[in-house]
Structure 1
Amino acid sequence: MAVVKRERSDAARNRAKILAAAAGIVAVHGVEGLSMAEVAAAAGVGVGTLYRRFGDRSGLAYALIDDRERAFQAAFLEGPPPLGPGAEPRERVRAFLHALADRTVEQLDLLLMADSAAPLSRFGGAYAAHHGHLAMLVARLRPGADAACLADALLAPLAAPLVAYRTRECGIGLDRVKAALDVLVDGL
C-alpha cells in the first residue's frame, strides 16, 4: 500500500507565501520581473528554500500555473455541461478546447516560461490530463478512429508558443483561434 506523504504545515505556509509573492510580482512586473531573489525576499524565505522547493524559474512558473490547472481539471471532470459530464461528446470537445484556449491566453507568459524548461516538458502532467480527456471524448465521437493522434492534433494549436505567435505577432484574435478549432471539431 502506498503511503501518501503529507506536507508539513510550515512547508505548506511557506509554499503559499512564496506563490502569493510570485503571483504578486508577475501581476505587477510580468513574468520578466520574476526573479528567485525577489520572490524569496517578498515571501520572507531564503533563496535556497526557493531553489530547493521549485528548482528554478520554470519550476516556479509551473507551480503558479498549477492552481488554475486544478480548477480547470475539476471543471471538465465534474463540472456542469457542456464542459463537464452530461453533454454530447462533440459539444464537450468544443467547450473543452474553448476553455483551454482562454486559460492558455490568461497564463500565456507563465506557460511560455514553463515550456522553456526542457523540450518535452509540456507533455507531462497537465498535457497528459488534457490529452487523456480529449482522447476519451474523441473515441466516443468517432469509434475506431486513432483517438490519441486526433487528441494531439486538437491540442497542437493551443501550444503556448504558437498561441503567442498567432495572437501577438500575427494579431489573430482568440475568437479566430476558437473558430478554427470549431472547424477541426466539426471535421470529427
Structure 2
Amino acid sequence: MNDSRTRLDKINTRIRNNPVLSLLIAVSTLVIGLSTFTNATRNLMDLLSGAEQRPAINGLWQAQVSYDWPNANYQERFNFAGSDTQLYGSATFTGSLNGILEGEIRGDSLRFITKTPESLGSGPIQEAIHRYQGKMVGDEITFVMQTEGGYSAHVPIEFTAKRSDNPAPAKSEPTQN
C-alpha cells in the first residue's frame, strides 16, 4: 500500500478528525492574537501619552532643611528644568548654588546629585557628593538627601520642598529655629 500523502496532509487529516484538538488550536490562535493586539495597543497608548507622564516639576522650589550638625537650618532653593526623563538645573546646599548632575525623573520620582567642595582649615579641599531622591505629590516634593565624601559622615536628611513663586537669588543665609 503506497500512501502518496505528505506528512503535512497526514497531520491536517488527524486535526480535522479530532474536534477537541481543532478547538484547542482555534482558541490558542485567538488568545495569541488578542494578546498581541492588547500589547500593541498598550504600547501605542504609552507612546501617545508619554509626554503627559512627566509631572510639572520645572520651575523654582524651596525647602527649609535642618542638617545633622548644630544650628544648621537653611532655606534651600531648587530650580528644575528639562523634558521627558531629563532633569537639570540647580540646587543650593547650605545656601551655595550647585549644578544638578545625573538628573532623572520617572513618573513622580526624581533623583539627582550635586557636588560641593569642603575645606577643613588649611587641609586639602575634598568633594562632598549629595544624592537626592524625591517623590512629587501635588506641589510638594518629599526628599531624602544622602551626603558622602567630604570630611565627615552624615545621616540621610529628609525634607519637603514646595513650589515657589519667588524668583529671589539662590544664595541664602542660615536661619534659626
TM-score (norm 2): 0.29
Which structure has the larger Rg? 2
Higher helix share goes to which structure?
1
Higher strand share goes to which structure?
2
TM-score (norm 1): 0.28
